[in-house]
Amino acid sequence: MNNLVNRILVVEDELSHAKAIKRYLLAYADQFEVSVADSLQECRHQISTFCPDILLLDLNLPDGQAIEYLKSTDDKRSYPVLIMTAQGSEELAVEAIKAGALDYIVKTPETFSAMPRIVERSLREWSALQDRQRADAEAGQARQEWETTFDAMSEVITIHDKQMRIVRANAAAYHMTGATPGELIGQRCCEALWSKTSICSECPQVQTIWDGKSHCGMVHHQHNERIFEVTTTPFPASSDLEYYIHVARDITTQKKYEKQLEFQATHDLLTGLTNRVLLKDRLDQAISYAKRSGRYVALVLLDLDRFKVVNDTLGHALGDELLCHVAIRLKKAVRDTDTVARFGGDEFVVMLTQVCDKNDVMAVFDNISEALTAPYELGARRFNLSASFGVSLYPDHSDDSDTLIRYADIAMYQAKKSGNSCAIYTSDMGLEGVDTLELENDLHQAVEHHQLSLHYQPKVNLRTGQIAGCEALLRWQHPQRGMIPPAKFIPIAEQTGLIVPIGRWVIEEACRQSLSWLAAGLPPIRIAVNLSARQFRLGDLAETVKEILDQFGVSSDLLELELTESMIMDDPERARKTLHELKHLGLHLSLDDFGTGYSSLNYLRRFPVDSLKIDQSFIHDVTTDPSGASVVASIVDIAHNLNLNAIAEGVETRDQLEFLVANDCDAVQGYLFSKPLPVPEFTALLAEEKCWFAVAD
């Protein structure tokens, strides 16, 4: 017994019996408190005032029978009832129990003296009974909730036995199959759900049955061409029964978007041709094959002559249409084993593989030249185009893909400069490298003599119409050459390793500028800094950034690091570790130029990034190209589904802005709002606290 006081109500009209029972109870334990009633009426009164923990009720009382009393009162009483009688029978005992009594006692001197132990035992039994009833109620509630959840799930869920026969299915399963419970239950899972007549050994259900572990895989529905991600997990029902729960999630739309993004990552959006990334990959493979077979690989890089005049005079739409026609002609002019790529603008590359003789290159070149120079008819207009060609060869010029591309580019510019239609690379064309070497030396001086500066381009929040942050962009004001484009000196800095000290300076300068704006009373904004591939590969990147933040006392929330897909996909596991280290500092991380690299959604959800920046190549034609618009909308949806912000860069027109607002993009940057500005001009822009456009309620 516990130390709590147990209130015992004895209802007995025989005074001697009542006194005897009370005496034995009080003599047994201090925690017993006993009250006596001599009628049912008094019993009712004391139940409400005394609040007994147990009721000892005589069978026959002056104003009624105990069994009838029990039948007429609430069956959800909170205390046990023991029926007492002078003479008992089995039939009477059964009737008492049915009426709600916990037990039945025949009054004798022996039972009176044993009453304390009877009460203790009854209280224990009652407590155990109450616990069981509560547990049963909770189990019933839990089962009801499980049943409701089971049927409410959008995924197709079935439970099947070891023979793969369905024993239970949710509403989604019936909806997908169109079957009734009678038609679905008992059917084999593969046949009923996926319309497959044979069982595949790679099926997750089969693998789980074999080894008892959970398995996940993809299943293609045989009839409706939809793709499902399926997971099968052991679902033990009892020691001698084995069941398996089979969950199928429709990922058709997700796979469609992934396929679109993968295509966009390796192909030119306008023409559908291979892009630079995929060409380089194929070139590496072609060189490896040529090394084994002793054959040549040729790169033909071509640039359309005077295309800019056509574009500027007749508009981008007609210019794009013309580029598409050029792409079609190039593909028809080469062999099936060759690759045609577009590098951007009016620059195309043809990779010729399995070349046995150098003369074969010139034969294909003649086909290409003839195809391109034939007149073009677009609507009512007729055009004639020419092109300048540059050629590089493996193994004559290099066995490195990047070098071969660069040599073909040098040869093309040599052909354009000399007025010839074609030039094959020679080593003396590399004299232009002298200029690069001088620029490299000057870049060392630029770092030492503080010739570098940061310009800032605003990022505009599409919810508020106001500046929500900015991107810091590196500029080099050369004392003799003037402003040098980043595209010209950043690759040199990357190749020479200068990008590491320059990158550190950029982060330091961004932190210094952040403090300056705060000191001037301007609102705090996050500054985004671009990381280079070389910086990102450093093992102490997070440590370096923390050191800079501590040095300047800048909140990590005010610094954003932008990195490209190619940087993280070079070594995904190492990249994930580095990103988690940076995220641990409280930094905002952004994936730049999203859609132009190789990253997959599977990897993306594992990286702790905060934002996706949609590359400007997707934004350019978003209002004129339905396919491009679909891709941009898909990227925004993917970002939001992964709880990431979507930021569009390169926004130049109001139509582009309206499209992005309509598709729930979070922020934008581009020349529509502002070009990158030096510090004084950007500071003035911040001070205006300008709202760039009206925000809908």
Asked whether this chain's domains 155-250 and 436-688 adopt the same fold, the reply is no
Burial class (CB within 10 angstroms; exposed 0-12, middle 13-18, buried 19+) of 74: exposed
3-state secondary structure (DSSP) of residue 491: helix
CATH code at 258-425: 3.30.70.270
Residue 382: Cβ within 10 Å count? 9
C-alpha distances in angstroms, 634 versus 257, 321, 460, 628, 631? 7, 25, 21, 10, 5
Using a cut of 0.75, tell me whether the model's pTM lies above it: no
Which residue, among 303, 431, 425, has the nearest Cα to 358 in the 3D structure?
425
Asked if 268 and 341 touch (Cβ cutoff 8 Å), the reply is yes
pLDDT along the chain (697 residues), means of 10: 76 90 85 90 91 90 90 80 85 85 88 89 89 84 80 82 83 81 78 62 58 62 70 67 79 82 88 92 94 91 82 78 93 91 91 84 84 85 85 92 90 79 82 62 84 94 92 92 87 82 94 95 94 84 94 94 82 87 94 66 80 89 87 91 92 93 94 94 91 67
C-alpha distances in angstroms, 464 versus 459, 473, 589, 645, 695? 12, 24, 22, 15, 6
The partner residues of 529 in beta bridges, in order of sequence, read 472, 561
Domain boundaries, the chain: 6-135, 155-250, 258-425, 436-688
3-state secondary structure (DSSP) of residue 357: coil
CATH code at 155-250: 3.30.450.20
pLDDT at 100: 86
E strand or H helix at 457: strand 452-461
Q: Which DSSP string do the residues of 516-534 spell out, in sequence order?
A: HHHHTTPPP-EEEEEPPHH
Phi, psi of 559 (to 5 degrees): -120, 130
What is the DSSP-derived secondary structure letter of residue 339? Answer: E
Give the C-alpha separation, 212 to 235, whole Å: 10
Which residue, among 516, 526, 589, 603, has the nearest Cα to 557 in the 3D structure?
526
Which residue, among 315, 162, 317, has the nearest Cα to 241 in the 3D structure?
162
pLDDT at 377: 86
State how beta strands 243-250 and 156-161 pair.
antiparallel
Distance linking the first and last C-alpha atoms of the chain: 68
What is the DSSP-derived secondary structure letter of residue 54? Answer: E
E strand or H helix at 484: strand 482-484
Crossing angle of helices 626-641 and 654-662, rounded to 10°: 40
Which residue, among 260, 270, 281, has the nearest Cα to 339 in the 3D structure?
281
Give the C-alpha separation, 336 to 368, whole Å: 14
Residue 630: Cβ within 10 Å count? 13
Q: What residue type is 71 in one-letter code? A: K
Superfamily of structural domain 436-688: EAL domain (3.20.20.450)
Asked if 95 and 67 touch (Cβ cutoff 8 Å), the reply is yes
pLDDT at 309: 67
3-state secondary structure 577-615: HHHHHHHHCCCEEEEEEECCCCCCHHHHCCCCCCEEEEC
Give the C-alpha separation, 524 to 513, whole Å: 11
Q: What kind of fold does domain 6-135 have according to CATH?
A: Rossmann fold (3.40.50)
Which residue, among 457, 469, 486, has the nearest Cα to 611 in the 3D structure?
469
